[in-house]
Amino acid sequence: MAEGRNPLTGMDYPDPDVIRVGDTYYMISTTMHFFPGAGILRSHDLIHWEICSYIYDTLEHTPGEILEGEETVYGHGMWAASLRYHAGRFYAAFIAHEWPRTFLFTAENIEGPWTRQYIDGVYHDCSLLFDDDGRVYIVYGNRDIRLTELKEDLSGPKEGGLDRIIVRDAPGDFLGYEGSHLYKINGKYVLFLIHSRQREWYRTQACFVADDLEGVWAGGEVYYGDLDNLHSGPAQGGIVDTPDGRWFSVVFQDRGAVGRIPVLIPVTWNRFGYPVFGEAEQDISNTCTRPGWAAQPLYADDDFTSPVLKNVWQFNHEPREGCWETGNGAYVIRTDKISRTVEFARNTLTQRTVLPGCTAEVTVNAESLQAGDVAGLCLLIGSYGLIGIERNEEGYALVMKARKPREREEQEYARIPWNQAEVRLRAAVRFPGLEGRVCFEYLDASGWKPLGPEHTMTFALDHFTGCRLGLFLYSTRISGGRAAFSRFTYRPADQ
């Protein structure tokens, strides 16, 4: 038996969809404006997860995706994919909110290569279903949940095919049904949705069941729970069976600034074919399908000696090729645009933060900065904070900047002169309750020194993601400056 704790990854992996192929579980989740995108995790026990692959390196190369000027896709990008395996092939379908179409990627191997195509139409929070008779369906929507039959090649709706609303929610300002996950289990069609009770904002998991796709769908809320007394209900996700016949649901819980994190909940079935959810317990266990298997961590130190980045890294927005490189002991960024703040900086390299907190350090070499350039270590979220080394007419300075929650502009909270072109920086972040709190430090000859006040971060819809550690460089006056980052270390707070 494998043992572990909820929430599963301790990191921001929202909108999970999980399948099992043989003895291996695969989970896809929302990656929004981070590249490579549509990351897939792998597990052999549903508890411990490691990075398996990414589906795409770039998406559509839009001005927002490449951070052209002040164009961005924060709060947009790839959302809520459906992952399926059928007839020896993997399928991943999702929308990106800046495009009026649905992406479909297919592969024979989960590690790729993945082939891109499109499904004609926009299918919000969709789920694919390959039925036993060879017909293919997609279910999707918000509040009104629609089932549409697709052509055999999945290129669009099938002419004359089934197309109907199967679940309809009442009007109101609460969260209507969405986040579809559709299955055929023991001859019945089973649809899971996320919801919120009308009398209060609180996520719940709903389920509707039908004997026939053209028949009546009956159901409602099947899980109303919590974890760690956060008054935040785990919901939105699907179910998966184990080789020995048990069932689990993988949903997410909103944990505030650290992000939305998967939660494992046991599921049984009643005699009417409806799922019965257990409780979201902190301590969890499950049979491992490969005894002795150990998952690789979802974070990593990096000495940047390889010409290929480790798979724990993702860029904030699409990277600008030719303006970054790794190898020879450093990650190097060169600017090719003017950026007002770190939010518009290209080639910012990120890793997720983790519960209950973590500490990162990095050495920054600033000798090739131009006047007005800032390079350093940030916590990237709408209410971001950063520590950096800046070059100006007088030489170098260390700065700490941040944007408080619900404020539009950043502020500079600390600045001190610095008499050399290299500095080692540290960010220590903790996640009490739903907040994130970060303290920035720099290393001088006498030891570590704080720079600026502790900064509070919150989750908001502007970025719609949990905060991430980021290595950044941006130019405020003249492009072409370079910064080199070396000896990156990452320590979870519980180590």
Q: Domain-by-domain residue ranges, the chain?
A: 2-286, 314-492
| Confidence label for 173 from pLDDT (cuts 50, 70 and 90) | confident
Q: How far apart are the first and last CA of the chain?
A: 24
List, for residues 417-451, the tens digit of each pLDDT value: 999 999 999 999 999 999 999 999 999 999 999 99
Q: Which residues pair with 447 in a beta bridge?
A: 444
CB contact set of 91 (below 8 Å; sequence gap of 6+): 82, 83, 84, 85, 104, 105, 106, 128, 154
State which amino acid sits at residue 485. F
C-beta atoms surrounding 199 within 10 Å: 7
CA distance 189 to 183: 6
- Evaluate if residue 288 carries a pLDDT over 70: yes
Residue 308 has pLDDT above 90, yes or no: yes
- What does pTM read for this prediction? 0.97
Please give the single-letter amino acid code of residue 16. Answer: P
List C-alpha distances in Å: 297 to 353, 354, 490.
12, 11, 11
Average pLDDT value for the chain: 96
Q: At 117, give phi and psi (nearest 5°).
A: -150, -175
Which amino acid belongs to residue 372?
A: G
Whether a cis peptide bond, with omega within 30° of 0, leads into 36 is: yes
Q: What is the pLDDT of residue 241?
A: 98
Q: What value does the mean pLDDT take over residues 253-271? A: 97
What is the maximum alpha-carbon separation in the chain? 77
Q: What percent of the chain has pLDDT over 70?
A: 100
Structure tokens at 6: 């909820």
User: Which tokens go with 272?
Assistant: 């009417």
Q: 191-200, 228-237, 333-342, 362-371 — which is least confidently predicted? A: 191-200
Minimum mean pLDDT range among 26-30, 173-177, 304-308, 353-357? 173-177
| Number of Cβ within a 10 Å radius of residue 301 | 14
One fold for both 2-286 and 314-492?
no
Cis? peptide before 7, omega within 30° of 0:
yes
Residue with tokens 């941040």: 402
Burial class (CB in 10 A: 0-12, 13-18, 19+), 31: buried
SS3 7: coil
The predicted model gives 123-142 an average pLDDT of 97
**Structure-token pair, residue 209:** 């069941």
User: What is the amino acid identity at position 359?
Assistant: T
CATH number assigned to the domain covering 2-286: 2.115.10.20
> How far is residue 38's CA from residue 106's CA, in Å, rounded to a whole number?
12
Task: Give pLDDT, residue 198.
Answer: 80
For residue 486, list its beta bridge partners: 363
Q: State the Cα–Cα distance between residues 268 and 277, nearest whole angstrom.
A: 7
Helix (H) / strand (E) containing 358 = strand 357-365
Q: What is the mean pLDDT of residues 124-129?
A: 97
Q: How far apart are CA 337 and CA 345, in angstroms?
A: 8
pLDDT of residue 130 exceeding 90: yes
Output the pLDDT for position 171.
Answer: 84
Task: Supply 287's token pair.
Answer: 């049979």
Give whole-number Cα distances, 9 to 57, 129, 402, in Å. 23, 27, 27
Tokens (6 digits) for 38: 């549509």
Query: Position of tokens 């006047």?
Result: 371
pLDDT band at 100 (very low <50, low <70, confident <90, very high): confident
Token code pair at residue 363: 């050495």
For the segment(s) 314-492, the CATH number from 3.30.10.20, 1.10.3480.10, 2.60.120.200, 2.40.180.10 is: 2.60.120.200
User: Rounded CA gap, 362 and 438, in Å?
Assistant: 16
pLDDT digits over 190-209, tens only? 999 999 988 888 999 999 99
User: Distance between CA 302 and CA 363 in Å, rounded?
Assistant: 11
User: In angstroms, rounded to a whole number, what is the distance separating the alpha carbons of residues 204 and 224?
Assistant: 5
- Coil, strand or helix at 257: helix
Confidence of residue 495 (pLDDT cuts 50, 70, 90): low
Contact of 234 with 280, CB cutoff 8 Å: yes
